[in-house]
Structures are given as structure tokens and as C-alpha cells.
Amino acid sequence: MSTTPEDEPGGTTSPGWTAADIPALDGRTFIVTGGNSGLGFETCRALAAKGAQVVLAARDPEKGAEAVERIRAEHPDATIETRVLDLADLDSVEVFAAGIREVDVLVNNAGVMMPPRTTSAQGYELQFAVNHLGHFALTARLLDVLSQGADPRVVTVTSFLHRRGRIHFDDLHGEHKYSRTGYYSQSKLANVVFGLELHRRLRQNGVPITSALAHPGYAATNLQSAGPTGIMKLAMKVSNRLAAQDAEMGALPQLYAAVSQDVDGGQLIGPDGRKEQKGYPTVVQPLEAARDRELAKRLWDTSEELTGVTFGLAAR
């Protein structure tokens, strides 16, 4: 494994931080992918409440519009709109990004979890396509606009299950052997590897954008019911009731990463409770293998090849 001391970010967090601690965000623009439900919805709601201009990106335009109306019912003065973004289709990513003229913070939140093996519009395994490749391409396409923002940031949302993952370069799309949980963990590890490598490349190339990571712990959202089927779906439903924290708490790490002045590039923010399952935002450590520079370069190069999108950020 090739790592360097500079891979270890510093910084502290504020104990017991909640959405009430978010500063005024007037004049700042946030894009939140998967903003119509779960963690994404709670993130949009909290940002809008503090005066941000929010772009709620959703695959389904009707669900996006419903989410916007729910937020406006609670915050009538909210500056929020919905735009269509299907991360399973790289053509949709291109169209969405072309319509963005300004953004200060991109929250790569959307995801799919443990479905039967499915492929994206471009033929890639769905979890890897949506959770990683779609966000990789979106970030690349918005990088120039982000670089003009105020305190610009990219927040990539992962999972504590990234620690069980490995990148199956020999069978990246599960064509030969597919495991729902294994390929979910692969996509979440890819999120971490990407976020850390993006941090390194931004800094090495003098681009003033912060790349941070967040994971929600175990939060009860529709993610656990939208993808899994059969016994797995039933088990997650029971587990959500007994063990999970609610989506409002689960969204705090990504909100913290998006707005707190205490956040450093390369940090992973997660819950401060036992096994990082529940609690308030704090700095946590990713899987050590996620810091492997050789792994990062291979994943980066592979992702550029699969998406046809490049960042123009040289690795040194």
C-alpha cells in the first residue's frame, strides 16, 4: 500500500452539533443529489431553512416536485427548485451539469442499496454506476463552476459498510459472480477512495475546492426498502425499527461536512456513537486500504475510461 503522511487530515468537530448550528447560508447555492427522500431530503430541508439556494436533484420529476412542496410548506420563503438527474444514465448527468451556472457546494448523496443485479443505461452494475460513476462524472462536469464558488466543497456520502468492500477490478460489474452486499460495499469503498483522491489532486493542482466525506451511520431511510427484496427487505425493516436512528440525525454528518468551518479536506465525518452507528458528527477514520495511492489511481483511471469524463487534475 502506498500512502503518505499528508493523507491524514487534521481538524476537530463540535460535540453535539445539530442542524440548529448551521450558520446563515443566504447567497450560497447547494446541489443535493437524491434530494427527494431520506438523507437527501433532510439535507435539503435543513439547508433551505438557513437561507440557502437549493437545487434538489431527483430522478423522478414528480417526486422531486413533491419534496420541494413539502419543504416550502414548512419554510414558505425557501429558495429551492428541483431538477431531473438520473445518475444511472451518464447522458442525464451531462444534461443536468450543462444547466448549472453556479454552485458553491455539491452533496453527492444519492444512492441505491443491494438490489438484484441490474445494469445502468451504459451497461454498468447499478450500484457502482449510481453510487460512484454517476457522482464521479457529475463532480468532474461541475468542477469549473464549483471553483468559482464561495468556500466551494464536494461532499461525497459513503457508508460504514465501505470497510467491508474491495474493488473487483477483475469483475467490476458482477457479470461472473454477484453479491448484493459485496457490490454495495464496493461502491461505498469507491466513494471513499474517490473522495480522498479528489482531495489530494485538488490540493496538488492548487484548486481551492474542499473534498470531504460523510457517512450517516445506521439511519432509517427508504434506501433499505427500495433496493432489497424478499427476506433481506423484511430483515432491514425490522432492523430499522429496532436499531436505526432517524434520517434527520443521519443527515447531520453530511450537513456538517457541507457547512462547518471546522471541516478539512480529506476528512470523513460520521456519527460519534458506538461503532459509528448513531450520534452526532465527528471525524472518523476510513478503511486504511482506502488511502492506497495505487488503488486510487487505478480506480480514477478506470472511472475516467468508463464515464468518458476527465477532471484535468494531474496526479503527482
DSSP category for residue 228: -
Let me know: does 86 contact 59? Beta carbons within 8 Å.
Answer: yes
Contact between residue 79 and residue 53 where contact means Cβ atoms under 8 Å apart: yes
Intra-chain end-to-end CA distance of the chain, in Å: 17
Residue with cell 450500484: 127
Strand partners, 33: 57
For residues 37 and 227, give the distance between their C-alpha atoms in angstroms, rounded to a whole number. 14
Quick check: 183 and 138 in contact, CB under 8 A? no
CB atoms within 10 A of CB 309: 19
d(CA 98, CA 144): 12
Hey, how many other C-beta atoms are within 10 angstroms of the C-beta on 145?
Answer: 18
| Beta-sheet pairing, 29-33 with 219-220 | unpaired
Residue type, 246: D
C-alpha distance from residue 190 to each of 54, 129, 176, 221, 230 (Å)? 26, 11, 20, 22, 27
DSSP 250-269: HTHHHHHHHH-TT--TT-EE
Neighbours of 88 (CB within 10 A): 21
Q: Is 178 a catalytic residue?
A: no
In terms of Cα–Cα distance, which of 2, 8, 1 is closest to 199?
A: 8
CB proximity list for 227: less than 8 A, separation 6 or greater: 112, 113, 114, 115, 180
Among candidate residues 124, 183, 184, 218, the one labeled active-site is 184
Residues serving a catalytic function are 184
